[in-house]
Chain A
Amino acid sequence: MMISGAEIVIRCLQEEKVDYVFGYPGGSVLHIYDALFKQDQVKHILVRHEQAAVHAADAFSRSSQKVGVALVTSGPGVTNTVTGIATAYMDSIPMVVLCGQVPTQYIGQDAFQECDTVGITRPCVKHNFLVKDVKDLAVTIKKAFHIAATGRPGPVVVDIPKDITAQVCEFDYPKTIQMRSYNPVVKGHLGQIKKAVQILQEAKRPIIYTGGGVILSDAAEKLTQLARKLDFPVTNTLMGLGGYPATDRQFIGMLGMHGTFEANNAMHYADVVLAIGARFDDRVIGNPDHFGQEKRRVIHIDIDPSSISKRVKVDVPIVGNVADVLDELLKLLDGGFKTDPDAAQWWKQIEEWRSRDSLRYKQANHIMPQYVVEKLYEVTGGDAFVTSDVGQHQMFAAQYYKFDKPRRWINSGGLGTMGVGLPYAMGVLFANPGATVACVTGEASIQMCIQELSTCKQFELPIKIINLNNGMLGMVRQWQEMFYSKRYSQSYVTSLPDFVKLAESYGHVGMRIEKPEDVEPALRKAFTEHKNDLVFLDFIIDPAANVFPMVAAGKGLTEMILAEDI
């Protein structure tokens, strides 16, 4: 039977078992929206800004194992998605973005709502397509899902001109797809894995350093087995949190710019680093020359060969899917593995570093942001999905909410996109209906996608917004305080709205909390009495609170500034 291109798009989504599409209609996608209207298998979530559609699709993917899908119109619809696409790209999130385009014969003529979608998105997608023939539509969408979800995952854009969605052809959805130019490696090289085991046996000061790759390949349990077997300390990157239970004895905290004293020292002084699905980025190892001063052997497991030996020279590269490589590694370790006896001394050293208690903070008359996150952890039993925006609150959430499970910590690590928190919480709730979801944010970040409070009302999403309100761009202010002689250039947020009234005007519940003793009761009320409501908790916090420990930009990992130094 011949069906239209628009119907083909929807049929493809059905074949891919897509439950939700986040989007916003417009001229060039009207045929697709019409096809969407005529069925009820694929549900459409109408956002209030295309950026939020992409963020929500991104979080849908982060919090599940599925590919998130967004649908937007041409021109401004597409340009509004660019931040969201780049955000997903930096964190390797599988996502398919379907974009309308002006009719084929108008392309290149500066038509109304035309933009060069393929050109604009090219540097921030894993791949993109412009569909030029309706006969290619189904196979292109199949390729898009295949490319997005395999190898190192990432966003894929499919640009579909309006005339293509009106033309008809037979629908035939390929079951599998072969591409001669795209065959990502999955299995690690056995010889390399054997070499890695040898080095792990010899390690006297070992560390397991893991990142988002563990989460993306659903390898958290395997990582836990491996760590138990080796009895090595484990540190996670910001993207890797939840990949290893944070409440476990072997977990020494997040590392990097705002990592713990023990994690950063252990990373620096380790003689063997087992890096798994992490990429030694600038926020993790600080100054690479300083990091290079210590001699160490590095084993690096990553699905992307270009992540290996990019910033740090690697001794044993293992290219492959983390879960598959860990399977092999565990099998080899079953053959009898003995941790070097000297490692006991290393643990003693780590405990000494740990005893510095580098996340300790002083209570004040004001509410401390760290305290809010600690209470949030208690009230939610440590089992909530926590999304965050970008800034001080993001670091506090990462440091003080102890994630024991993967896919619970949803934030923009690579691109550092302010404004993701609320749409991320939306995406999480669609992927995990009935889940407890908290969005830890600040008064500046939340305003970047505040319009989504309306979407939350429409779809009755009971998100708890934890607004750590210090009336300032906290992280900017912290850097200005420390490195710009307290010249607070443009870091004040004046003319803030009354967030309680704002939430209420959208039909939600608002609360303002100004005293430390009110923090816990407010949270309890929000998560019990208002379980089914969106609650905007506006915590007026200490405006002077800073994030510690801190490795200043350009400094070495061990050159930390601790709260006790200030």
Chain B
Amino acid sequence: MRHIISILIENEAGALSRVAGLFSARGYNIESLTVAPTEDESLSRMTILTHGSDEVLEQITKQLNKLVDVVKVVDLSEAAHVERELMLIKVRATGKDREEMKRMADIFRGRIIDVTESTYVIELTGNSAKLDSFIAALDAGLILETVRTGVCGIGRGDRILKI
């Protein structure tokens, strides 16, 4: 099962390595991890995408809670939530491909944020599946470079992760 774990953690040096170290030491996998300070700069919010059975997820959340720097842990995917991922993709844009790339970006509601004579950089936001399908829709030979932020997510409505 795919799970998105959100963590509020003290914004201190080494906090990230405690979380990453826990996952590797206990054999849990991290598919993506994003982290940045929250509106309260003393706290960081981390979002981890992982896969595991219910038992494994129970252990992951318990073990994360055990870390002294961790303030709160929530499995976002347990209930209604929204998730987004940002991708920047650099493509070759010459000749007839130049117009085609522009069209594809429009279809996927991407934005072209850098233009040169031969390349575009397209910014695309959405859930991971949307980013995957955008990549699949392009001619692989035209993709020069991609970079993705990994998933971040937030609970819907009254589900609030805050101290």
Interface residues in chain A, defined as those with a beta carbon under 8 Å from any beta carbon in chain B = 118-119, 122-123, 126-127, 130, 147, 152, 179-182, 304-306, 309-310
Contacts and interface: CB of A to CB of B under 8 A. Distances in A.
A118 B66 contact: no
Contact of A126 (B10, B68, B70): B68
Interface in B48-107: 55, 58-59, 62-63, 65-66, 68-71
Contacts of B17: 119, 122
Given A181-B10, A181-B70, A305 B65 contact: yes
Interface residues of B, number: 20
Given A130-B13, A180-B163, A181-B69, A122 B58 contact: no
Contacts of A310: 59
Interface of B: 9-10, 13-14, 17-18, 21, 25, 55, 58-59, 62-63, 65-66, 68-71, 163
Contacts of B13: 130
A147 B68 contact: yes
Given A152-B66, A306-B62, A309-B55, 8 more contacts: A119-B17, A122-B14, A122-B18, A127-B69, A130-B13, A181-B68, A306-B65, A310-B59
B66 A304 contact: yes
Nearest to B71: A181
Contact of B62 (A123, A127, A181, A305): A305
A141 to B, nearest CB: 15
Contact of A309 (B58, B69, B70, B163): B58
A152 B68 CA distance: 12
A491 B35 CA distance: 50
Nearest to A128: B14
Chain B's interface: helix, strand, loop or mixed, by majority?
A: helix
Q: List the 7 closest pairs (A to B, CB-CB), nearest first.
A: A306-B62, A127-B68, A181-B71, A305-B62, A182-B68, A306-B63, A123-B25
B59 A306 contact: yes
27 contacts: A118-B14, A119-B14, A119-B17, A122-B17, A122-B21, A126-B68, A127-B68, A127-B69, A130-B14, A147-B68, A152-B66, A179-B68, A180-B71, A180-B163, A181-B10, A181-B69, A181-B70, A181-B71, A182-B68, A305-B65, A306-B59, A306-B62, A306-B63, A306-B65, A309-B55, A309-B58, A310-B59
A238 to B, nearest CB: 23
Contacts of B68: 126-127, 147, 179, 181-182
Nearest to B22: A123
Interface centre among A179, A180, A305, A306 (most CB of B within 10 A): A306
Nearest to A179: B68
A304 B59 CA distance: 11
Nearest to A119: B17
A127 B63 CA distance: 13
A137 to B, nearest CB: 16
Contacts of B58: 309
Nearest to B10: A181
Interface centre among A123, A179, A181 (most CB of B within 10 A): A181
A333 B37 CA distance: 50
Nearest to A307: B62
A152 B67 CA distance: 12
A179 B68 CA distance: 9
A231 B151 CA distance: 55
B21 A306 contact: no
Contacts of A118: 14
A152 B66 CA distance: 9
A304 B66 CA distance: 8
A305 B62 CA distance: 6
A152 B63 CA distance: 13
Contacts of A304: 66
Nearest to A305: B62
Contacts of B14: 118-119, 122, 130
Contacts of B9: 181
A235 to B, nearest CB: 26
Nearest to B15: A181
A377 B162 CA distance: 57
A123 B17 CA distance: 10
A179 B12 CA distance: 14
B10 A306 contact: no
Contacts of A309: 55, 58
A268 B30 CA distance: 37
A365 B21 CA distance: 53
Contacts of A147: 68
B104 to A, nearest CB: 45
A207 B23 CA distance: 35
Interface centre among B25, B68, B71 (most CB of A within 10 A): B68
Nearest to A306: B62
A209 B7 CA distance: 35
Nearest to A123: B25
A180 B14 CA distance: 18
Contact of B66 (A119, A179, A306): A306
Nearest to B60: A306
Nearest to B13: A130
A151 to B, nearest CB: 9
A147 B66 CA distance: 11
A522 to B, nearest CB: 46
Nearest to A304: B66
Contacts of B71: 180-181
A130 B69 CA distance: 14
A180 B12 CA distance: 14
A181 B19 CA distance: 14
Contacts of A126: 68
Contacts of A180: 71, 163
Interface centre among B18, B21, B65, B66 (most CB of A within 10 A): B66
Contacts of A181: 9-10, 68-71
A182 B9 CA distance: 11
A291 to B, nearest CB: 16
A309 B60 CA distance: 12
A120 to B, nearest CB: 11
A126 B71 CA distance: 15
Nearest to B55: A309
Contacts of A123: 21, 25
